[in-house]
């Protein structure tokens, strides 16, 4: 029952931290040779990790790091899931007394905060990055391969996640819009709840459709979606409800404005696209990542930590190259973990990987 209430909250309040008790958890019945995993102390994350591991029948030690209740990726970007965090978790849990090895499996998305070379040097623990999604962990552990397969190292944005981001986008837009809406309702009775429904519907539709429809998500597509929604609204209102067209014009403009605004905001709620804001505010179009062939030692770690599949391997030299710059989310995981300091970027890594945080960092 409690979990249902929590899940309901996460449907709308996923953006807010939700801490659970940090420390060592036993999953199944782990022994001296069982794998040691670490994750963030975001309640939803810990619950899902434990459920998935139990379902897959894995015996493991799970370290819940104190990331202040923030999820793995955001915490890593915001300096709350760093090498320091991992070391504190390792030392305070006394895990060294429980196991006979010093191998730690980290979630891949913490790579923008955790440097495994520095971890090894400071604590003696050998870190390895697992798959992005915990549900692929069992298969990877059983395969015995050093790294998860490429398709499990990419961040995806499936239907369910888009739906949840849609509801969250709605709530967060409302947080800022509710006061003006209530004020406006003094002159326009009923304006606030109609707008509220409209914003929610538009936010969810935007998140569901905007990545499926052709073209790049952003202002133009939001505007187009708003226009289409307004047209459908007009057709229904005039033909089925027989409302006079002249009374609708205000609402039509309002629908287009909401559609455009949400279209503009949607990409910043996705792990795949960047918002137009960066272009608009900074006149900067792309992030740039390059690997220096002289410095690169060909260890391939950047290919493993990149959640967007930017890097590839040069078949002749065996060194890394940045192949798909357009996918880069500027999370800085590659820069953080490159042992040879061979990767150069035009952004500062180790900051939240969402485009918004990137822009703020520039403006500061």
Partner 1 sequence: MSTLVYMKILELSPASYDRWMRFLTLGRVNHIKKEIAANWINPGDNVLEIGCGTGSLAALMTKRGARVTAVDISAKMLAEAQKKVPAADFHHLTALEIDQFPQDKFSRIVATLSFSELTIAELDMVLSLSANLLKPGGLLIVADEVRATKLWQRFLAVLMRWPLAIITFLITQQTTHVIKNFEARLTAAEKFELIQRHEYLLGTMALFIGRRSDKVSSGAAAKTGGGVPC
4-42 in b/e form (b: 16+ CB < 10 A) is eeeeeebeeebbebbbeebebbebeebeeebbbbbbbbb
The region of 47-55, 261-269, 290-298, 317-325 touching partner 1 under the rule CB under 8 A is 261-269
Q: Does 93 engage in binding with partner 1 (CB under 8 A)?
A: yes
Q: What is the DSSP letter of 349?
A: S
The region of 45-53, 99-107, 171-179, 289-297 touching partner 1 under the rule CB under 8 A is 171-179
User: Which CB atom, from 220 or from 356, has the smaller least distance to partner 1?
Assistant: 356
Q: Does 345 engage in binding with partner 1 (CB under 8 A)?
A: no
Q: Does 261 engage in binding with partner 1 (CB under 8 A)?
A: yes
What stretches of the chain show up as alpha helix (H) in DSSP? 2-13, 43-55, 72-77, 83-93, 116-123, 137-143, 159-184, 191-209, 219-235, 249-265, 277-282, 301-305, 333-337, 355-363
Contact indicator for 224, 205 with CB cutoff of 8 Å: no
What are the percentages of helix, strand and coil residues in the chain, rounded to 5? Answer: 50, 10, 40
Q: Does 43 engage in binding with partner 1 (CB under 8 A)?
A: no
Q: Does 173 engage in binding with partner 1 (CB under 8 A)?
A: yes
Q: Does 269 engage in binding with partner 1 (CB under 8 A)?
A: yes
The alpha-carbon radius of gyration of the chain (Å, integer) is: 23
Q: Which residues pair with 344 in a beta bridge?
A: 290
Q: How far is the CB of 294 from partner 1 (least distance, A)?
A: 28
Q: How far is the CB of 65 from partner 1 (least distance, A)?
A: 9
How would you class 259 by CB atoms within 10 Å of its CB: exposed for 0-12, middle for 13-18, buried for 19 or more? buried
Interacting residues with partner 1 between 175 and 194 (CB under 8 A): 175-176
Q: Does 265 engage in binding with partner 1 (CB under 8 A)?
A: yes
Interacting residues with partner 1 between 277 and 306 (CB under 8 A): 277
Interacting residues with partner 1 between 54 and 83 (CB under 8 A): 66, 68, 78-79, 82
Residues that bind partner 1 (CB under 8 A): 15, 17, 22-23, 66, 68, 78-79, 82, 84, 87-88, 91-93, 122, 169, 172-173, 175-176, 261, 264-265, 268-269, 277, 352, 354, 356-357, 359-360, 364
């Amino acid at each position: 029952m409690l979990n249902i209430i929590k899940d309901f909250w996460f449907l709308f309040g996923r953006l807010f931290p939700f801490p659970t008790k940090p420390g060592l958890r036993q999953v199944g019945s782990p022994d001296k040779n069982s794998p040691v995993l670490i994750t963030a102390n975001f309640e939803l994350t810990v619950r899902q990790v434990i459920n998935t591991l139990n379902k897959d029948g894995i015996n493991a030690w799970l370290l819940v790091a104190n990331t202040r209740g923030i999820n793995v990726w955001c915490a890593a970007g915001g300096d709350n899931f760093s090498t320091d965090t991992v070391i504190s978790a390792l030392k305070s849990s006394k895990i060294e007394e429980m196991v006979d090895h010093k191998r730690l499996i980290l979630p891949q998305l913490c790579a923008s905060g955790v440097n495994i070379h520095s971890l090894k040097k400071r604590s003696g623990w050998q870190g390895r990055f697992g798959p992005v999604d915990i549900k692929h962990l069992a298969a990877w552990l059983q395969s015995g391969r050093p790294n998860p397969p490429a398709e499990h190292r990419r961040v995806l944005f499936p239907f369910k996640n888009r739906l949840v981001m849609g509801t969250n986008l709605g709530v967060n837009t409302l947080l800022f819009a509710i006061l003006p809406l209530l004020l406006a309702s003094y002159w326009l009775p009923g304006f606030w709840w109609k707008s509220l429904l409209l914003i929610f519907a538009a936010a969810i539709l935007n998140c569901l459709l905007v990545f499926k429809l052709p073209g790049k998500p952003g202002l133009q597509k939001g505007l187009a979606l708003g226009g289409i929604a307004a047209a459908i609204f007009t057709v229904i209102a005039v033909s089925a409800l027989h409302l006079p067209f002249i009374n609708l014009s205000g609402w039509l403009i309002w629908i287009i404005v909401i559609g455009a605004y949400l279209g503009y905001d949607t990409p910043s709620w996705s792990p795949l696209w960047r918002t137009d804001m960066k272009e608009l505010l900074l006149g900067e179009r792309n992030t740039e990542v390059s690997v220096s062939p002289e410095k690169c030692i060909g260890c391939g770690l950047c290919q493993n930590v990149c959640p967007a599949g930017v890097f590839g391997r040069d078949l002749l030299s065996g060194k890394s190259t940045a192949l798909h710059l357009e996918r880069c989310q500027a999370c800085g995981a590659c820069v953080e973990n490159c042992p040879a300091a061979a990767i150069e970027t035009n952004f500062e890594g180790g900051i939240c990987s969402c485009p918004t945080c990137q822009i703020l960092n520039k403006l500061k």
